[in-house]
Structure 1
Amino acid sequence: MFSNKDEFKLAFLERLERMHGKSFDQTSKQDQFQTLGTMVRESISGQWIQTNEQYRMNQEKQVYYLSIEFLLGRLLKQNLMNLGCLDIVEDGLKDLGIHIEDIDDMEDDAGLGNGGLGRLAACFLDSLASLAYPGHGMGIRYRHGLFEQRIVDGFQVELPEQWLKTGYVWEVRKSDLACNVPFWGTVEVKLEMGKETYRHVDAEYVSAVPHDMPVVGAGNETINTLRLWNAEPTTLRIPGNVLKYKRETEQITEFLYPDDTHDEGKILRLKQQYFLVSASLQTIIKQFLTQHKDIKLLPRYVHIQINDTHPSLAVPELMRLLLDEHSLSWEEAYQITQTTLSYTNHTTLSEALEKWPEDLFQRLLPRIYMIVKECNERFCQELWEKYPGDWSRIERMAIIAHNQIKMAHLAIYGSYRVNGVARLHTEILKHREMREFYEWRPEKFCNQTNGITHRRWLLKANPSLTKLLTEKIGKDFIKEPSALEKLHHFRNDSGVLQSLYDIKKNNKISLSNFYFKTTGQLINPDSIYDVQIKRLHAYKRQLLNVFHIFYLYQQLEENKSLTITPRTFIFGAKASPGYYFAKKVIKLIHSLQRKIQANPRIREMISIVFMENYRVSLAERIIPAADVSEQISTASKEASGTGNMKLMMNGALTIGTLDGANVEIAERVGPENIYLFGLTSEEVMRYDQEGGYVSTDYYHHDSRIKNVMEALQSDFFGHEREQFDMIVDALMSHNDQYFVLRDFSSYVDTQKRLADDFQKDSLQWQQKCLVNIAESGYFSSDRTIDSYANEIWGLTREVRV
């Protein structure tokens, strides 16, 4: 991009004045960010075009990753780093009296995702481009994202996430490539030349306008594309009430995950999902046909990955396009569909497997409903032939049953491969959650353990650790993360272990300074930074973490001579707006925080920090500073987790259950370098299937639990006492669905062992950290993407630039 800093400075100053009509000393940090971002985007535009031209000329098979979320984070420094010119730009800006961090802070995190699902999609895009695979993302351009979180008197308050208020420097609007998506109306069936034809009439059309973003590969010349669709009114057919139509159209891309408690919200979410897949598939096929005239060749040159159930309507939409637009027979259309699409499952929770009311679905998407219904009838007929007389099995496996359309069943039926995202998760899918589908088509199922891009979560987030690694093991790990294993050679090197300690300490000081700057409160950098940062959900068990803190508080309050290793418990999480239990946990965290702060002696040993408005850029500050990684979900409930991988890669030690990818982390680092506790997945599943768990038994027989629960039901929190009735009811009246009380004792004992280890032998602790860093390369998304490419998509490394 620039050969030296002087060339950069000249170009930057000239462009800054030309863009904003101001002299340099009058420009703001926002002006400077917009200028630099525009320069980066424009400088890669030629290579972006060339990448797409190369794919076209080479007739390479291309992969399209359909996801309702892409949690990108900030892109300025990431793009500069991948382009190899971060140091030049940083030095040039420094000469001008500008700190690149100040400019970087001007970039809002793109409001395009919520949690691990969206962050995984972002990591995959980075790896696809960095490995030079022809792979692109397709998503929705939400104008407000999920929400901006504020904490007021301990309660979560949701504000609109205004991430587009100053525009978005990385996107290019391409209105000439817009396409129309139909809703409502009816289907007109005609018999023409002995063949039925279908025409969607009286539809309400919405224009899907693409906004393309470059996805910059690291150390190569590959620039892939993330295409985000924006919903806009169209003049194709103007309904009677124009203002109502305009408002309803714009709502489609207004917010991520609208509340679907009522029919209006269900309609909006279903609109979002069909809008995404219809616009994407129309475009994919149109682009395919510019190179290949035979639609039957589609699976040879295109593969589409459905990320979770949200884009499952890709199955009937691809069928619709093949049947109605290209006049294929049902058998031909289905063969193409189920060899072009693959489905990634991200959950073992039945409530997360989407279902839609049949009547609502039929009204909103009449032609799609007809195709889904035909899929269901043919599927049930196939099952009848395979399992004659087994009506119960057919009922359970049906795509439509009891007036509900089951999206996961639809995705499995219409996909080439179905994958879980950790080895344990895939086994649970095969032998419990989707056992009957696995018995029906075992060859469909495979595992692809998740990964994270080390370029963001190590190189960008933790430059001091990256520098140490480069000095000790060379630069190979930047291209091949598995080379981090070379770090094992330094396991007994006291100098390296001391350097790891110093790096962590400086990162902790940096986070403490940031927190003080933003809140006016201090964090003790000599304490254990115990971190739980993830979506607020009952199965992730932030509540178990809080109960442990509560227990420590009570111990210190009861025994005035007791001291413990100072510990700072750091939380970061958003609770979904309608998830009242999760919101009560946030309130409990803050109420306990206030009690601790009011006690001068106890606050010297334990403190709680809740990082407001948790997001990618905040995670990049927290993760390098973490000593302890809380991965304490109920075993068998977390599909994989990726926060565990990010924290591990930065030298935090995991305290966790044998759940999701924790199992594979434990296997790689060994039992002495991870802190495991609690029920196994087999034990949890046995309780779920056979019963036998009585939460009140633990209340009556463990005084520690009883003391915490009684405090919740007493005047301990004063006038806030009734705020926590929902939590008490969930644990006692509703029998503690996620086994918080059952795992409490094991968790507390393991936390004690962890704190003792941290306190008594710093070098031994650093040895454990080193082993975790050394083994983290396996969990790179580069490894995951290679596996998808070879086992599902039919791509090989030979396609790399």
Structure 2
Amino acid sequence: MDLRNGIGLRPLGNTPAEFEQDLLSNLYYRRGTTVESASAQDAYETLALTVRDRLAARRARTSAAQYAANPRWVYYLSAEFLFGRQLSQNLLYSNTGEVAAAALKAFGLAPGEVEELDVEPGLGNGGLGRLAACLLDAMATLDIPAVGYGIRYDFGIFKQAFADGAQVEKPDAWAFQGNPWEFPAPDDRQTVFFYGHTTRDSDGNTTWIPGEIVLGEPSHMLVPGYGTDTVNIVRLWSARGSESSFDLSRFSAGQYAEAVQEAVRAENISKVLYPDDSTELGRELRLKQQYFLVSCSLRDIIRRFRLRNAAWSEFAGKTAIQLNDTHPTLAIPELMRLLVDEEGLSWDEAWEITQRTFAYTCHTLLPEALETWPVALFERLLPRHLEIIYAINEGLLGEVRSRFPDDLDRVRRMSLIQEEPERRVRMANLAVTGTTAVNGVAELHSKLLAETTLRDFAELWPAKFRNVTNGVSPRRFVRLANPSLADLITSSLGDGGWINDLDRLEDLAPLADDPAFLSRWREIKRANKVRLGLGDPDSLTDVMVKRFHEYKRQQLKLLHVITQYHRIKNNPGGSYVPRTVLFAGKAAPAYHAAKSIIRLINAVARVVDEDAAVAPYLKIVFPPNYNVTLGELIIPAADLSEQISLAGKEASGTGNMKLALNGAITIGTLDGANIEIRDRVGADNFFLFGLDTPGATALRAAGYNPRAYYERDDELRAALDAIASGAFGGVGQEVADSLLNRDEYLTLADYRAYVDCQSEVDEAWQDQDRWTRASILNTARTGFFSADRTVRDYISTIWHVDPVHVPHP
């Protein structure tokens, strides 16, 4: 019998009797309890283990197939992965939902009760993490050999609560009761250095003498594909103190805190996602996190490479590392350090390998969002990496001077080191310099990256710049989030194959003129609203769910809400379309302006909801702690998708794709992926308003004066005056002041176009057949925005990898 890679193990059956037997076995032998004494938590964890076992068997066969093929791998490095709850997905992907429901009867439990105990892993915050999770799902579904690398944060970014309308951050102890979906792998620990100094021997070889040593201990979670036997992994690193980090002599002397202070300092690295960086210690901890991630991951990638390969000349041909934003950019100087200092390669050899290995996804257009770090911090924390960055910079600037000999300003702009007002390392410049490809995440974003944000680099290396428009997982955000709609699509298309071939949704378009299909579509949308529990399911559900940032312009939506409130109050006998306006999202703890907007929204909601004359027509809802789980309830219930960022500021968006895919109609600007959504669904099925990117640029250049818009628009003036006067519980004066005196994101300039466009929304809503037809066409024509298509684009334009098919037993 061959026991390697699971060959020869007893197959795990999927009949009800076989599943129940495995469930009971796990209850007895792995949970250590019995049916009679089992708690609901026991039932959940036992079910999770039983489902995990089936995926683990597929993982063993995947590993065997991938080992035999020795392919080029994709390694996806990301500070965030926002997977959502695992149980419902893994039941679907392992095709065990029905047998699991039958087996749970032994516990007297229904699947829904157990699924409520499944905790969403706190490994991400927003679109960056959700995109990363969707791409890993798509890679497994497409049989691409891939590993995701991240940090196993003990606490997620935070749980959002409201106190008197203000955001309050509470710890997100997502793994407090453990995580049955992960496999610890302490034998694969890696050693990470910090601080210290460098020395050089007589041959010029450099050695880093560290001042602190931390261990990276991995665990991994399974990432199954849908409709395939492939199961990939995401490997997550926890920081641990070294063996010497516990001081027994101090402990014996009663100095208990001092005895463990080194271990505590080490473990802080993986304690919290995005620690507050408003202090020097917070900034240092963030940079330590970033280096910890890449140092552990690169050593693990090299370990994996050496399982089947030896020559460094083969490394780039077997390894494609995608940097998801600038957080993992330290992987570039770290690989150089490993190749030059530890492996003895020449600088030129190492640089060629490094550039061929890495690719970089940029997720922003905001210059202030391009990450930089103080040189002084680098010098203290990562002295060898600063030396390597200086050497990379020397080569870069030599090439720039050669190509543009008289352009000193260009040299200054492109340098990896910013000189004024403080010497800082520019991580985006490093990411572009050390990679083979740089991609934006929507057509407009990629165009503007090359024309504005990274223009100098695009002129130096135009072939590096690509576009890969984002996508979302239809398995997570349609099949799991909206099962009734998924069933209707399956019955209409004849089979469920569309889940992995989203272009087939186009075949729904002819049904947009079928009265029976329109009626069923409306029934499903209404049922989703009832499930969400907002109140009147027949009102227009107007949804704005996204991270809070001034450029995303939640403040513009709020001005419309206040305007509508005033219209109803000033004309109580008028005819109004009932609306339920739903906001959801978090603001960064130190982002005072965004938190002020949150508090104002809640204050306006209190006033509106307590007004009996307005309540039948306008309701504002702001559920706290927006995450994937809550999104799976909100997105299927949405009628109107608010995508109203200032044109030229949003990289792409993925919430806009999820909402359109579930039949919400977009009201939006020509920003990010809105442009591509509108192009595909048709102008008649999209509510467009506002400045485009050239218009916004021209308005600023002409000297934008927000007060001029305030003075000439009576409704805008009334809305801002109400805020400034304290009409909403005395809250919001700082928001009004910011809009009137600065308005960096041209909110007041777009106000009138936005409010008038919302009147068009009201008109369209009153013709329910017209609205439903547009809703159907939004779903039918947004198959392009599948994460599967995104991964195929990466494969064809950047990664150049081949699938490895796992044979079915």
Q: Say yes or no: TM over 0.5.
A: yes
- Of 19, 31, 39 in structure 1, the residue corresponding to residue 42 of structure 2 is 31
Residues 1:45 and 2:56 aligned together = yes
Separation (CA, whole Å) in 2 of partners of 1:174 and 1:623: 37
Aligned with residue 485 of structure 1, among 488, 494, 506: 506
Correspondence for 1:153 among 161, 164, 171: 164
* Separation in structure 2 between the aligned mates of residue 386 and residue 21 of structure 1, nearest angstrom: 69
357, 374, 378: which one aligns with 1:340: 357
1:170 pairs with one of 174, 181, 204: 181
Match of residue 352 from structure 1 = 369
In structure 2, C-alpha distance between the alignment counterparts of 1:95 and 1:753, rounded to whole Å = 55
The answer for the alignment partner of 1:675 in structure 2 is: 687
CA distance in 1, matches of 2:32, 2:382: 50
Contact conserved, 1:131 with 1:800, CA < 8 A, in 2?
A: no
Task: Give the Cα separation in 2 of the matches to 1:459 and 1:425.
Answer: 29
Q: Which whole-Å CA distance do the structure 2 matches of 1:415 and 1:800 have between them? A: 31
Partner of 1:318: 335
Contact residue 422 and residue 661 of structure 1 kept, 8 A: yes
What residue is the counterpart of 1:543 in the other structure?
555
Residue 564 (1) aligns with residue 540 (2): no
Matched, 1:87 2:98: yes
> Which of 788, 792, 795 does residue 794 from structure 2 map onto?
788
Query: How far does residue 25 in structure 1 lie from its aligned partner after superposition?
Result: 5.0
The letter of the residue matching 2:225 is: G
* 1:262 is aligned to 2:288: no
Matches within 5 A, 1:229-244: 229-235=237-243, 243-244=260-261
Q: In structure 1, the residue corresponding to 2:202 is in which secondary structure? A: strand
| Count of residue correspondences | 783
Which one of 499, 518, 522 corresponds to residue 520 of structure 2? 499
**Can you list the C-alpha shifts for 1:454-481, whole angstroms capped at 9, x where unaligned?**
0000111111111111111122312211
- Closer, same or farther: CA 799–395 of 1 in aligned 2, 3 Å: farther
**Of 52-61 and 738-747, the range deviating more from structure 2:** 52-61
1:743 aligns with 2:750: yes
- Does structure 2 retain, via aligned residues, the 8 Å contact 1:84–1:219? no
Q: Quote the Cα distance in structure 2 between the aligned partners of 1:190 and 1:499.
A: 77
Which residue does the alignment assign to 1:228?
236
| Letter of the 2:44 counterpart | F
SS at match of 2:348: helix
Question: What letter corresponds to residue 425 of structure 1 in structure 2?
Answer: H
User: Aligned with 1:44: secondary structure?
Assistant: helix
Q: Supply the distance in 2 between the matched residues of 1:17 and 1:298 (Cα, whole angstroms).
A: 46
1:302 to 311, 319, 333: 319
Residue number in structure 1 paired with 2:80 = 69
Partner of 1:510: 531
Deviation per CA, 1:46-89: give whole Å up to 9, x if none. Answer: 32122122212111110100000000100111011112222332
Q: Secondary structure at the match of 2:741?
A: coil
Kindly indicate whether the alpha-carbon contact (under 8 Å) linking 1:205 and 1:237 is maintained by their aligned counterparts in 2.
no
State whether structure 2 residue 253 is matched by structure 1 residue 246: no
Counterpart Cα distance in 2 of 1:317 and 1:14: 46
Q: Which residue of 2 aligns with 1:659?
A: 671
Structure 1 position 92, deviation (Å): 4.1
Q: Which runs of 5+ in 1 are unaligned?
A: 513-521
Q: Deviations over 1:438-496 (max 9, x none)?
A: 00000000000000000000111111111111111122312211111111121211111
Task: Map 1:272-311 onto structure 2 (within 5 A).
Answer: 272-311=289-328
Could you tell me which residue of structure 1 aligns to residue 637 of structure 2?
A: 625
TM-score scaled by length of structure 1: 0.96
381-390 or 665-674, which deviates more: 381-390
Please tell me the residue identity of whatever aligns with 1:223. Answer: V
Asked if 1:453 is matched to 2:473, the reply is yes
In structure 1, how many angstroms separate the alpha carbons of the residues matched to 2:173 and 2:210? Answer: 36
CA–CA separation in structure 2 for the residues paired with 1:12 and 1:158: 38
What is the CA-CA distance between 1:14 and the residue it aligns to? Answer: 4.4
Counterpart pick for 2:728 among 710, 713, 717: 717
Correspondence for 1:525 among 517, 532, 537: 537
1:568 aligned counterpart, secondary structure: strand
Whether the 8 Å contact between 2:569 and 2:613 is mirrored in structure 1 is no
- Determine the C-alpha separation between the residues in 2 that align with 1:84 and 1:219: 9
Which of residues 202, 206, 215 in structure 2 aligns to 1:207?
215
The answer (yes or no) to whether the contact 2:481–2:633 under 8 Å persists in 1 is: yes
Q: Any idea what the Cα deviations from partners look like across 1:279-329, whole Å, max 9, x if unmatched? A: 100111122122111112111101100000000111100111110111111
> Alignment partner for residue 191 of structure 1, among 202, 212, 225?
202
Point out the more displaced range, 416-425 or 349-358.
Answer: 349-358
Correspondence for 1:421: 441
- SS of match in other structure, 1:65: strand
2:685 is equivalent to residue 701 of structure 1: no
- Residue 19 of structure 1 and its aligned partner are, at CA, apart by 4.2
Find the aligned partners of 2:515 and 2:737 in 1 and give their Cα distance.
51
- CA shift digits 1:694-736 (9 cap, x unpaired): 1000010001111011111114134x2xx423212211222x1
| Counterpart amino acid of residue 536 in structure 2 | N
Q: Do the aligned residues in 2 keep the contact of 1:128 with 1:134 (CA within 8 Å)?
A: yes
Assess, with a 3 A threshold, how the Cα gap between structure 1 residues 18 and 587 changes in structure 2: closer, same or farther: same
How far did 1:766 drift?
0.9
The CA distance in 2 between the partners of 1:650 and 1:90, in whole Å, is 27
The answer to whether structure 1 residue 139 and structure 2 residue 139 are counterparts is no
Q: Is 451-460 or 237-246 further displaced after alignment?
A: 237-246
Distance 2:683 2:94 in 1: 39
Match of residue 473 from structure 1: 493
Tell me: CA distance 1:554–1:394, structure 2 relative to 1, closer, same or farther (3 Å).
same
Equivalent of 2:393 in 369, 376, 390: 376
**Residue identity matched to 1:544:** L
Letter in 2 for 1:478: I
Check whether the contact 2:223–2:231 (CA below 8 A) recurs between aligned residues. Answer: yes
The root-mean-square deviation of aligned C-alpha atoms, in Å, is 1.6
Closer/same/farther in 2, CA of residues 770 and 202 from structure 1, 3 Å limit: closer
* 1:15 Cα deviation after fit: 3.1
Give the 3 Å change call, closer, same or farther, for CA 59–23 of structure 1 in structure 2.
Answer: closer
Structure 1 pair 798–147 and aligned structure 2 pair: CA distance change class (3 A) = closer
Is this contact kept in 1: 2:361–2:441, CA < 8 A? yes
- Where does residue 779 of structure 2 map in the other structure? 773
Q: Distance in 1 between matches of 2:454 and 2:424?
A: 18
Structure 2, unaligned runs of 5 or more:
1-11, 251-257
Change in CA separation of 1:800 and 1:53 when aligned onto 2, cut-off 3 Å? closer
Question: Would you say the 8 A contact 1:306–1:341 is kept in 2?
Answer: yes
Per the alignment, residue 141 of structure 2 pairs with 130
For the Cα contact (< 8 Å) 2:47–2:100, is it kept in 1? no
SS at match of 1:608: strand
What residue is the counterpart of 1:518 in the other structure?
none
Give the counterpart letter for 2:758 in structure 1: Q
- For residues 2 and 707 of structure 1, the distance between their equivalents in structure 2, rounded to whole angstroms, comes to 67
Distance 1:201 1:14, change over 3 A: closer
Output the CA distance in 2 between the equivalents of 1:776 and 1:32.
39
Deviates more, 1:419-428 or 1:553-562: 553-562
Amino acid corresponding to residue 740 of structure 2 in structure 1: M
Q: Write the distance in 1 (CA, Å) between the matches of 2:539 and 2:57.
A: 50
